[in-house]
A and B are shown apart, each in its own frame.
Chain A
Amino acid sequence: MVRQTTKKLIKTIIMKKFLFIALASSVSINASFAQKYLSKTAHVRFFSETPMEKIEADNHQGTTVVDFEKKEMVFTVLMKSFEFDKALMQEHFNEKYVESATYPKATFKGKFTPKGELALVKDGSYPVTLEGTMELKGKVNPIKAEGVFKVEKGALSGTSKFKITLSDYGITIPGPVKDKIAPQVEVTVDAKYDAYKK
């Protein structure tokens, strides 16, 4: 009788310990390896090329959060923070094309699917497919793009390159500059992420 109870007791203790260890280890994994990553200095560049004119603009103030548990990410960028080589181009971009006073931000919301194993604890490149919606100038369109998450010496970064058709977002190019602005612009995104702590 006594023996049986001790056996039971030992059993439960072992069980509990195991549970505790399992819990503790899962917590410690979470602590050492966050699931959410944030960047406030993401670089966004867009590029338009026609035989007449090459237009580039850079923005180093993109903000983005990635959740590796749910495989989701969001990305926003302030339109006014795009820097052009020519001051007047920057003014026209904000005033006439994207109307940044009315629509200050562009936003991407979506999910990503890793193409293989995605182990952030190991250094390496992890290609993913991004799928979601892009909001620009008040218009929302579905978008699909290829991207890569990279871990280098424990630091996480993400890059992607895709094309945007201006007319999808209600951006019309007036006649006189039609041959200077490409109907499709190429967008390059490059973000260095930090672990997000509440």
Chain B
Amino acid sequence: MHIKSRLLAGALALLISAPVAFAQDDLMDILNESEPEEAKTEYAIATFKSTRLVAGHSIETNGKGVLNVLIGHRFGRVNEGAKEFFGIDNAKMRLGLEYGITDNINIGFGRSTFQKCYDGFIKYKVLRQSKGKKKMPLSMTLFASMAIVSQDYADPTRENYFTSRMYYSYQIMIARKFSERLSFQLTPTIVHRNLVKTADDANTVFALGAGGRVKITKSFALNLEYYWVPQNQIVSAFDGQKVRDSFSVGFDLETGGHVFQIHATNSRGLHEKAFVTETNGDWGAGDIHIGFNISRVFTVYNKNKFKQRKADRLAKKAAKA
């Protein structure tokens, strides 16, 4: 009797407790055991929304087979007043194309109104920030570009060399996505100028760029960009005004395949040599250019469709043979 009642109580307890414990939890345990979190590498994506912070490049590259068409505008200065419609009458632009050869290697080409400048670049993402199995605290992208200024020589009377039109820029971009909202980038930069105005001007200019992004909503972000040029490298004035560090503030607005960026900056040019070594606007005096970039991506090469077509071709061949 005693044993029986105990057994009964035990069976009852089992019956009651069984439905309470979540039925599928032991199965979840099996999954978690067989698939530990540490076994996978998780890469940080979208450290920045666009391949540009403001004028300068970000660590982001276009994916393989993606063609990115960029149109950048810089208006004249806001302090030119109402007659010049606060600079809008006097717009400079850059038309650019970028293409992803692989997910990590991009090439690009651009033509700027400013100095009738052609530029070409290659960009290579070396490191990707990741956690999990492979841990990497930073992303790093290497960048090299060449620019050729095609406007008339400043002094046609003297002997001019074509090489004096050429400029080279090199950057190492190091970035970290600290959180979903906050990303930061450091960009050590070298700009080499074949021809400079005076012997006191350095041909090779060192600069340090810094930039960041704060995401405000999922599709809207605030960007900052600053290029510090240590003193005594550029002594000659540019366009009659002292050369200053470039500082820009911008907003990104993203919709589907478009990114729209609007900026306020003291730089005029949209190419490395222009905004690093030829920025002469003074923020304090209101020498501010309003500008915007519009980028639109087109997927030119589609991995899966390409594979499908290849398979179809092979199948046709096999059917013929």
Contacts and interface: CB of A to CB of B under 8 A. Distances in A.
Contacts of B66: 86-88
A87 B64 contact: yes
A96 B218 contact: yes
Range of interface residues on A (Cβ < 8 Å) = 35 or more
Contacts of A86: 63, 66, 299, 302
Contact of B62 (A38, A64, A87, A180): A87
B255 A65 contact: no
Contacts, number: 80
Contacts of B63: 86-88
Given A87-B62, A111-B23, A65 B30 contact: yes
A65 B31 contact: yes
B80 interface: no
A116 B199 CA distance: 92
A85 B31 contact: no
B240 interface: no
B304 interface: yes
A110 B35 CA distance: 20
B303 interface: yes
A38 B219 contact: no
A10 to B, nearest CB: 30
Contacts of B31: 38, 63-65, 74, 76
A76 B34 CA distance: 12
Contacts of A109: 24, 27-28
Range class of the B interface residue count: 20 to 34
A30 B219 CA distance: 55
Contacts of B303: 85
Nearest to B215: A95
Contact of B255 (A70, A111, A174): A174
A99 B45 CA distance: 11
B34 A91 contact: no
Contacts of B304: 85
A101 B179 CA distance: 9
B219 A40 contact: no
Contacts of B297: 88
Nearest to B179: A101
B24 A74 contact: yes
Given A72-B24, A80-B45, 15 more contacts: A36-B27, A38-B31, A63-B35, A65-B31, A74-B28, A85-B303, A85-B305, A87-B100, A88-B63, A88-B297, A91-B45, A94-B45, A104-B42, A110-B24, A176-B255
Closest 9 CB pairs of A and B: A87-B63, A176-B255, A109-B24, A74-B27, A65-B27, A96-B218, A86-B299, A65-B30, A177-B256
Interface of A: 36, 38, 40, 63-65, 67, 70, 72-74, 76, 78, 80, 85-88, 91-92, 94-96, 99, 101-102, 104, 107, 109-111, 132, 174, 176-177, 180, 196
27 contacts: A36-B27, A40-B35, A63-B31, A67-B27, A72-B23, A72-B27, A73-B24, A74-B24, A80-B42, A85-B303, A87-B100, A87-B299, A88-B66, A88-B257, A88-B297, A88-B299, A94-B45, A94-B46, A107-B28, A109-B27, A109-B28, A110-B24, A111-B23, A132-B24, A174-B219, A176-B256, A180-B256
